[in-house]
Chain A
Amino acid sequence: MPPSILTINGATHSFEAGQTILDVALGSGITVPTLCNYKDTTPTGACRVCVVEVEGARTLLPACATQAAPGMVVQTESPRVVEARKMVIELLLASGNHNCLVCEANGECELQSLAYRYQVTTPDFANPPDTPYYYEDDNHMLVRDFSKCVMCGRCVRACNEWQVNQAIAIGYRGAHNKIVARGDFPYVNSDCVFCGECLQACPVGAILDKHAIGQGRPWERRLVRTTCPYCGVGCQVDVHVKDGRMVKVTGADAIPNLGKLCAKGRFGWHFVDHPDRLKTPLIKENGAFREAGWDEALDLVASRLKDIRDKEGPEKIGGWCSARVTNEENYLMQKLMRAVIGTNHVDHCARL
């Protein structure tokens, strides 16, 4: 089918069936602001930040959820559009406690960017700061601060459509709407597996990485792209580093994980700086460990293995390797066991 044509802000653009107005606009370098829209999840058209004017339509339409149609004439920044967007941003700012000063999201918050782009200040009809909002701080990984939640629903779609953990849903009705886990319980009492996908999806500071709180602003941190050390999937991660120390880990939008991570990859990195971490080999003598050099330790292991093989036979020895080393290292381990020791007892912790 030949591509069809529509007009955006006076210029014509071609599009293919199935594309939304937003797809066409972004593909043509026109930025239409969005908030609830989240990569590769069902567009809900709910936040109304992306509304555009379409000739002949009675109301404004959400660019993210409206299919492009041949001959459509679209305005993305007309006065009518800007007026509605500003009011939507005002309403969102007023819906919670949006004092950016100590907010973790400051500098990477999508609501803040919207307010800046449309020069919307906190409206004077904002809630008094003492409005009771639920604040969840009872687990080791995530903090949920509902005074910042804009009910975009991205976390719900991330949990349900990306991770398929189905741990959270939108609950209640109207202005009482709230993200709920099970019977509106804390995450720890729900089906949540702490993958942190909701954290990654949240456009504002409503879901926080607990250990990163107060550990530095986005612009103070350096990103290091690396591979998660935990399992064979090899997820790409961005390690956020400030002053030579890790602050947090986020999923990188790259093959194979496309931003997703599991609880271990996202939150299980604190061994890096842990005081209990092994820095030298230890040798146990008379029931107690003492630090040793690598040569001494390897000599000891080699001689003991040789002893056992010669006296008891090779089948008394087994090799057990780790999922946290590379495939090549695992290959060498089994080679050592089979070819040097002569045993087939080889296993791997990922079988657990």
Chain B
Amino acid sequence: MTTNPGPCAIVPTDNLKPEVLDRLEAIIAGRRATPGNLLPVLHEAQEIMGYVPAPMQAAIAAGLNLPGSDIFGTMSFYSMFAWKPRGKYIVRMCQSPPCHVNGAENMLQALQAELGLAVGQTTADGLFTLELSACLGICEVAPAMQINEVVHGNLTREKIGQIIADYRAGKAPDFRQLPYSTKDYRHYKHCPAEPVLMDNVGLIDPMEIQAYLDRGGYGALKKALTTMTPEAVVEEVKTSGLRGRGGAGFPAGLKWSFTRPLTVTPKYIVCNADEGEPGTIKDRYLMEGDPHKVLEGMAIAGYAVGASRGFIYCRGEYYLSQHRLQHAINQATAQGFLGEKLFGTDFSFNVEIRSGGGCYICGEETALIESVEGKRGYPRLKPPFPGVSGLWGRPTVVNNVETLSSVPAIINRGGAWYKSLGTPDTSGTKIYQVIGHVQTPQIVEAPVGLTLRELIDTYGGGLRPGRSFKMCQTGGASAGLVTAESLDVPMDFGSLAEAGGALGSGTMLVMDESTCVLDFLRAVAVFFAHESCGQCTPCREGTLRLLQTITRIYQGRGKMEDLAFLERLAATLQDASYCPLGQSAGVPLMSALKHFRPEIEAHIQEKKCRAGACQAHPS
């Protein structure tokens, strides 16, 4: 990796074909009135030729009345946009920790051999372009890749050969026809407790609003609008104790109560469906399987805080989620569950989907807001918090998909009932995700407080035969590791934090003793170096140095001074970075040094991998 992409782009001399220009102009005309229209226009424009060449960028700049350099400046921030020709099929191989510990590097080699390509190249026939990707949100089928809209998981060499052969033969699946992206939720092992979130998933047709209505859908919205004041809704959610499921665990009711009294209008609800935290796959099941529940939660939130407009910021790789959500929005609008004057009240609520472009940082709420405004996803300084000044400077409540999907049940059955579920620290139910070295990676909804041991043994099917537990990265890529002594900690926000981990998004990356801790750290470092937005120095430069130094040690070229440097670097990352991404980029490393220092030092002093996993120097 270099720190600079090298020479400037070649200045194009070619012009757009008239038919391309016509389509582009239609796209621009259709979006001219959309606030923050640059990203939607870029997404649509890219479909014309598969990339957005410079003349197209210039036409967009002119059409949207934006500075020319802003078009490229913004699009080059997002992984999913290209400005040079690419193949018909974009093969995105995941390289994040969940896939990495399941052999993604070997699968990448197999892919490269199969396609005869290095990463970034396109086959001579123009069919395939091979790209590496950060976590695609499909970790239950790791190692995994995505080809255009379609997920291909549980990869083996043979399977890769077959998949590529099928595409070559013109047999590319249509994602819209698939029942789900990865796996059938019904086949998972379920928790005996009554589900609050997943009650419809797998049972109803997500493309049929009637199926949702038959299960009592939109009843909570009706109840809130016709029998409760907005303040009462906020109170009910406060009573429920619901804490945000996006990772930080901030009490949702409290967040709403800051925005409710503000007189500034308009206000906005943003549903955070960016789901980029490695190992996190839960929101996808809700959006694909029960999209109306998400919409209902958003509308109730809108009523509670006085917002009449909602945005769903859904990660760009979740094609099926976006498809189902858009269909649900259309149906709900047609039947009067979204739109103007709902249930005969004065409350109106409209929802629009915004697609991300392949950026983890855009899951951070202020970066997300910048992105919806059509800019680079640079986090903003807080305060002011979005609840006071968010989208276009207006009060904006940002909540995770799972958080919002919990709201209808809270309204239907009361905050006190919800509070009775879970633990005193974290009420309600949680969608846990168990991935990595377990026999049956899956998600499970359970009352908060499940232990890691139960999650692994009961729902993850236990470790693979003959393997023993080494460590678990809790809550996502930015959190610490826990070892066997924490297997019985109830997994809520407080207890896991105390154990040196984090509940985060509720994902648990389980690793057995065949995992080299440095190899794991390297995959984490690749992730952060790839996903740093680059706004601030410590994270932009520090994540790169973290990766370089860890790689050097992993390859047997480390020095003991490297560890002192890494510790200093991690401290500065935590103390001086602009946003939580940089602040947490060194946390897994520090945690690993706490638990596995001798193993790491052995790589330096003895050039030896105790796990026997490093290719550079097997034990």
Contacts and interface: CB of A to CB of B under 8 A. Distances in A.
Is the pairing of A and B real? yes
Contact of A87 (B11, B58, B68, B568): B568
Contact of A170 (B6, B9, B376, B548): B376
Given A48-B536, A125-B545, A184-B76, A60 B576 contact: yes
Interface residues of B, number: 59
Interface in A134-181: 134, 136, 146-147, 150-151, 160, 166-178, 180-181
B575 A60 contact: yes
Nearest to A160: B67
Given A176-B3, A183-B83, A169 B67 contact: yes
A210 B248 CA distance: 51
A46 interface: yes
Contacts of A190: 68-69
A84 to B, nearest CB: 4
A143 B575 CA distance: 36
Interface string B434-457: 000000000000000000000000
A51 B572 CA distance: 11
A182 B72 contact: yes
A194 to B, nearest CB: 15
B72 A169 contact: yes
B576 A44 contact: no
A321 interface: no
A132 interface: yes
Contact of A91 (B1, B72, B533, B538): B538
A184 B69 CA distance: 8
B551 to A, nearest CB: 12
Contacts of A146: 4
Contacts of A48: 536-538, 576-578
B610 to A, nearest CB: 26
A72 to B, nearest CB: 13
B537 A174 contact: no
B14 to A, nearest CB: 13
A91 B2 contact: no
A268 to B, nearest CB: 25
Interface stretch (B421-429, B468-476, B524-532): B524-532
A88 B537 contact: yes
A184 B8 contact: yes
Nearest to A170: B73
Given A48-B536, A87-B572, A185-B8, A94 B54 contact: no
Nearest to B54: A183
A134 to B, nearest CB: 5
B429 to A, nearest CB: 30
Contact of A44 (B535, B569, B572): B535
A150 B227 CA distance: 58
A128 B67 CA distance: 35
A203 interface: no
Contacts of A303: none
B11 A189 contact: yes
A261 B534 CA distance: 31
Contacts of A183: 9, 11-12, 54, 57-58, 68, 71-72, 83
Contact of B72 (A127, A136, A180): A180
Given A94-B541, A173-B78, 9 more contacts: A48-B536, A48-B538, A49-B537, A59-B583, A133-B4, A134-B7, A169-B74, A176-B534, A184-B72
Interface of A: 44-49, 51, 59-60, 62, 65-66, 80, 83-84, 87-88, 91-92, 94-96, 125, 127, 131-134, 136, 146-147, 150-151, 160, 166-178, 180-186, 189-191
30 contacts: A45-B381, A45-B536, A45-B578, A48-B577, A59-B577, A59-B583, A65-B381, A66-B381, A83-B568, A83-B572, A125-B565, A131-B4, A151-B537, A166-B70, A168-B69, A169-B69, A170-B534, A171-B77, A173-B78, A173-B533, A174-B543, A175-B544, A176-B4, A180-B72, A182-B54, A182-B58, A183-B9, A183-B71, A190-B69, A191-B68
Interface of B: 1-9, 11-12, 54, 57-58, 67-74, 76-79, 83, 359, 376, 381, 529-538, 540-545, 548-549, 565, 568-569, 571-572, 574-578, 583
Which 7 pairs between the two chains have the least Cβ-Cβ distance? A169-B73, A166-B67, A91-B541, A177-B534, A87-B572, A174-B532, A169-B69
